[in-house]
Structures are given as structure tokens and as C-alpha cells.
Amino acid sequence: MIRQRRMNLAVVSLLALLAFSGCKPDSPATTGGGKPADGKKLVVGFSQIGAESSWRTAETNSIRGEAEKRKDKVELKFSDAQQKQEKQIEALQAFIAQGVNVIILAPVVKTGWDPVLKEAKQRNIPVILVDRGITVSDDSLYATLIAADFVAEGKQAAEWLAKKTGGKANVVELQGTPGADAAIERQKGFKDELAKHPGMKIIKSQDGDFKLAKGKEVMEAFLKDKDSKIDAVFAHNDDMALGAIQAIEDAGKVPGKDILVVSIDGVKGAFEAMVAGKLNCTIECNPLLGPAAFEAVEKLAAGKPVEKKVVVPGELFEQSKAKDAIGGRKY
């Protein structure tokens, strides 16, 4: 009897400790947090990176569109961070103070999220990561990550280029935003694959911040160096590739022929450039993450489990496929 009472006390103390520390005995992805009060709308805070590329605009529209479809029961609070992590942290803190039910975060960079995510966890607000991953001290600080496999995208770009050039090429690289998961992982995938081809090397590499104008500016600078012959451009996204194409044309060269161009995203503009013969290949990275994000929102609000990682598939498109595929593109 006394033993039984002691055991009960121990269980109660353990549960109290877990509740106090904000932990749950179950996986954090099954958190019951996020449930709106009876009769109230489910309030979702979405911290978006910015509007640096056409891909980003498509992602914003997709998430806003899904919220709009559910407007009777969902209220979306949207915040644009203009590509600044400080602004994203401020937005998250505001969402937490307002007591939103769920947070959707597209993180601009990979690190530096621990403190604010701990605040969200303490308030039992589940955080859904879309598009880019992060490095945190404890994976229970977010509920799920819905994103493409960026390493695979970089690898595919390098494989395509190696095949196209017979394994011999001087490549220039236009990197995405420094510190961003998409830039780090795409570069890793590309470099690891390139290492298998001794005749291929990256002769110049610089960040173009995922923006068309910056991609153009960096490519112009690369082309000014007359001592090194550029055979190909690897751009971490289509917008920078489109900027590079303009710079190549301005330099009196033919993009897609004199200099091959391969990039990632699969936006409409990239398909138009492929149809025009100026871009050689794009690896699709689907920005239409709204449906998957809201599926996770609804599950978390209902206290149901969600997958820790949802990998969004993508396809490789070459110039030869562009004409047939362009009509069916959704972004």
C-alpha cells in the first residue's frame, strides 16, 4: 500500500516536471498545442523570408491561398522579413505574444533559432518549418519540416553538366543567400558530385542572394576577367540564372551555347528561357507548399502526430522538354 502510494507520487512528480519544463512524454510532433479556443478561429502566424525571387512569391501565394480557402475557420497573420533574420525573430516574438495557435516559419538562415523557438515551445505553440531547414540544439523545437532535398538538387545539376560537357568544364557558381540551407546544401551536392570529375572545376563562386539583379551583377564581374574561360554557370536558383543570361548577352556571348546555364527551381521564366534556347536545364524545386503546410497545421491543432520531415519531390527539365512542359507549369 505504502509502496503503491510512493509510486503514484513519483509518477505525479515526473509529469509535473515534464509539464514545467515544457516537454511532453510523447514525441513533440504530437504536441496538443495549437488548438483554438471554442468558437474561435485558428490563428496561424506565417513568417516569410521576403520576396527575393519568383519562387518565393509563388510560395507566399500558395500559403496565403490555402489560408483563404479556410477563411471561415482560419486567420493568417503574415509577416515579410525582407531577408533579415532579426525581423523574422521579431515576427515570431510578436506571434507568440499574440498567442497564435500555430507558427509557419520559412527560415532565411540555418542557425540562430534556438532562443525564439524555445519561447514558442514554452507557450506550447507548434512551429512548422517550410522550404528551408535549420540546425537547433534540440529537434523538438519544431514540429515538422516540409522541404525539398537541396543536396540532391545540387548533385543532379552537376551530374547533368558532367554528362553534357563530357566531364570537362570551367564552371562559375552563383550562390544563394549566405547561411541559407538552400545555398549550403545545393553547393554541397554540386561540389561532391563535381569531385568525381577531375576535368571539371569551379573557377569562381560568389553569392547573388537568390536575386536576378544580383545574379546579373556577379556574372558581369565574372565575365570581365578575360584570363579565364567560362564554359558553364551553375546558379543556385533560376532568378540568378536569368540575371546571368542577361549579363552573358550583354557581353556579346550566346547563353545556352557559348556558356551553358543550369539552375534550380523550375519557375515559368526559366521555362521561357529554355524555350528561347538560353537556359539549358533547371531542376524543379516545388514552392507550392501551402497544401502540405495546412495539412500539418490542422493535424497539430487537432493534437494529431505529424511527420518530422516531408520531402517535396522535384523533376529535372532540359531544354528539349521545355516546350511541351511549359503549358502545364503552375508557377
Binding site for ligand AHR (CB under 6 A): 52-53, 55-56, 131-132, 182, 210, 237, 239, 264-265, 285
Q: Are 196 and 228 in contact (CB under 8 A)?
A: no
Q: Is 164 exposed, middle or buried (0-12, 13-18, 19+ CB in 10 A)?
A: middle
Q: Are 144 and 310 in contact (CB under 8 A)?
A: yes
Least distance in angstroms from the C-beta of 283 to ligand AHR: 10
CA distance 123 to 301: 14
CA distance 241 to 319: 14
Least distance in angstroms from the C-beta of 102 to ligand AHR: 21
Please say which residue, 136 or 312, places its beta carbon nearer to ligand AHR. 312
Please say which residue, 125 or 233, places its beta carbon nearer to ligand AHR. 233
Least distance in angstroms from the C-beta of 44 to ligand AHR: 20
Least distance in angstroms from the C-beta of 208 to ligand AHR: 11
Pairing relation of β-strands 127-130 and 102-105?
parallel
Maximum Cα–Cα distance across the chain: 91
Least distance in angstroms from the C-beta of 38 to ligand AHR: 38
Least distance in angstroms from the C-beta of 161 to ligand AHR: 18
Please say which residue, 132 or 214, places its beta carbon nearer to ligand AHR. 132
For residue 310, list its beta bridge partners: 146
Kind plus residue range of the DSSP H or E element containing 127: strand 127-130
Please say which residue, 174 or 285, places its beta carbon nearer to ligand AHR. 285
Kind plus residue range of the DSSP H or E element containing 281: strand 281-284
Please say which residue, 105 or 182, places its beta carbon nearer to ligand AHR. 182
Please say which residue, 52 or 66, places its beta carbon nearer to ligand AHR. 52
Q: Are 277 and 261 in contact (CB under 8 A)?
A: no
